Each structure stands twice: as C-alpha cells, then as structure tokens.
A = this chain, B = another copy of it.
Amino acid sequence: MLSEVVASAPGKVILFGEHFVVEDQPAIAVAISKRARVRVKPNDSGKYCIYSRELDLSEEFGLHESRKQSPLYPIVVAARAVENRAGVEVGLDIYIESEIPPSAGMGSSAAVAVATVAATSELLELNLGKEDISNIAYRAETIVHGKPSGIDNTISTFGGAIAFRKSEGFLQLEADFKPVKIVLADTGVPRNTGELVRRVLSLKEKYPQIFDPLYYAAGRLAVEAAKLIERGEFEEVGRLMNVNHGLLSAIGVSILELEHLVYTARRAGALGAKLTGAGGGGFMVALCRKEDTDKVARELEKIAKRVIVGEISEEGVKIEKKV
C-alpha cells in the first residue's frame, strides 16, 4: 500500500439536451478545466475520516457505518467499494477540495466520487481501469442522487465531450476545443431540480401533440451539434446553443435572470449562450472564441453573482501525486 495519493477529476457542463434527455433524447456534455481534488492516506483509527474544504465539514465514519443523511457519505461508499474490491479494510483520511461550484449542475459530487475512487484504487495498488472507476463512482452517486443519468461520472472520468442517450449509452466525441473557452455565470437564484423536472414532464404529458415534436427537435439539435463539434464549427455550435436555450424557455425552465445573462453574453460576442442544467435559476453557459472570452466575462461580472471562465478539458480523472 502507498502512503498517500492525490487524484483529480473534472466537472462538467451540459451544452445540449438537459431536460429532453429524461425522455430519451440525446444530450451533449463536456468536461471543464475546473476540478475536484481528493487526497487519500491510510490511518490507524479504523475509521474513514473525511474532510471537505468547500463544505467546511469534517466527519468520521466507522468502516461499516451507514449514515445516508451526511453529505460526505457518498465518499465513504466510494472508498469502501474500492476497499471491498481490493479485499482490504483500512481506515482512511480523505481530504477533498474542489473548484467546481456545488449544486450547480456541474457534476461536483460526481467529480469528487470519481477522484475518490481513483485515489483509493491507486493507494491500494488495485489498478482499476477507467470503466471500473466510472461505474464504482456511479454506484456511490446513487446514494445521494437517486438514479442519476450517469453523464456526470462518465464525463468526469473520461474528460472531453460526450454524447449521451438513455437507450444507447455514451459516445465520446472527437474534437479539438482549443479555439474556444466557456464562461459560466451564476444567477444566484437557487434551483429545485426535482420540482422543475416534474413540472416540465406534467406539461409534456398534458400536451403530447406539442411536446413530442418539440422534444424530437431538441434531440435532432443535439445530433447536429455533435457533428458540428467534431468538425470544429464552433460558430454553428453557438447558434444551436441559442436555439436550445429557446426550447428550454419553451418548456418553462428559464427565468428573467437567466435571460439577462444569456443576452448579455451574446451581445458581448459569445458564439452562443444558454441556461445549463435544470434551469429555474442556477447557471448560464456561454461558448466563446478564445479572444472574446475576457470581454464576455467582464460584461457578465457586472450582473452575475459569480463568473467562472474555463476551458473544455480533454483531461478526465488523473493521479496527480503518489507517495
């Protein structure tokens, strides 16, 4: 066993298809250059001692203890699953720090789970493949998120851009994202994802004649966007992000604060801008040519609660340090 391992994994942004993905339409997510870092060390206490810098929270769990209400419990589940796989039972000190804003639809908890699995696996010299890391993180995620789509752990493990469809699974997109950056801006309005998803689905159920073709259009949009991404036609990708935003407005998940951010980004020169994630608050994402990024970020900073500039990152989970 090693004495210390640090692993990191990226957050994600949905560029196309949130909400529509629930009804088996394709979606596209990308990894961003904001990462969660997890440091794992064996200890002699016979406990999992977890510390999260962002939550400013420190908790201890017995090796067999279940405490589902704790926000740190998914990390215990992730580490324990790796130990089970290795056939060992050791106490661990686990330190978490993350650049990914939590509860923002950016896959913060999946990135932590993925990095935890990777770091623990490396510590125990288990040599798990990425497929395994992603799957174990997914199962840990089910503790907090019910039955997540699997997008978050997949993108966090593999990095880059991924097309996803419920009935078909994942497809890694081959793309060169160097000419562009993304700017994320926070409305500061809290979201209630579950409530929003229910409201959208009840509208869809009431008017299938309208929403079946609308959802189909959203799916075709993601398919076209995937082709454009692979061809590097980011101007057109941006145009389709704008269309996607309108479809999200049509299903009722935009708010004035999101529109304000979206139109400000577009006017400042973004190639495209849309709400990202569940909507009803939360974040806007803008795709920008590298050279226009600063201007877009500056304009958004005047009105957003928080602005994050990042790249679309090829890099998935990785071991940063091992001792």
Contacts and interface: CB of A to CB of B under 8 A. Distances in A.
Contacts of A240: 207, 210
B251 A248 contact: no
Interface residues of A, number: 35
- Interface centre among A207, A211, A245, A251, by most chain B C-beta atoms within 10 angstroms, is A207
Interface string A215-237: 01100110110000000000000
Interface stretch (A56-64, A119-127, A255-263, A308-316): A255-263
A259 B263 contact: yes
Copies of this chain in the oligomer:
2
A247 B242 CA distance: 11
Nearest to A243: B250
A249 interface: yes
A252 B209 CA distance: 23
By DSSP majority rule, is chain A's interface helix, strand, loop, or mixed? helix
B263 A256 contact: yes
A260 B256 contact: yes
B256 A246 contact: no
Contacts of A223: 209
A214 B267 CA distance: 25
A2 interface: no
17 contacts: A203-B239, A203-B243, A207-B224, A207-B240, A209-B220, A210-B217, A210-B221, A211-B217, A213-B214, A213-B216, A214-B214, A214-B247, A243-B250, A246-B247, A246-B249, A246-B250, A250-B250
Given A210-B220, A246-B249, A256-B263, 15 more contacts: A207-B221, A210-B240, A213-B214, A213-B217, A217-B217, A242-B252, A243-B250, A245-B249, A245-B250, A246-B247, A246-B248, A246-B251, A247-B250, A249-B250, A256-B259
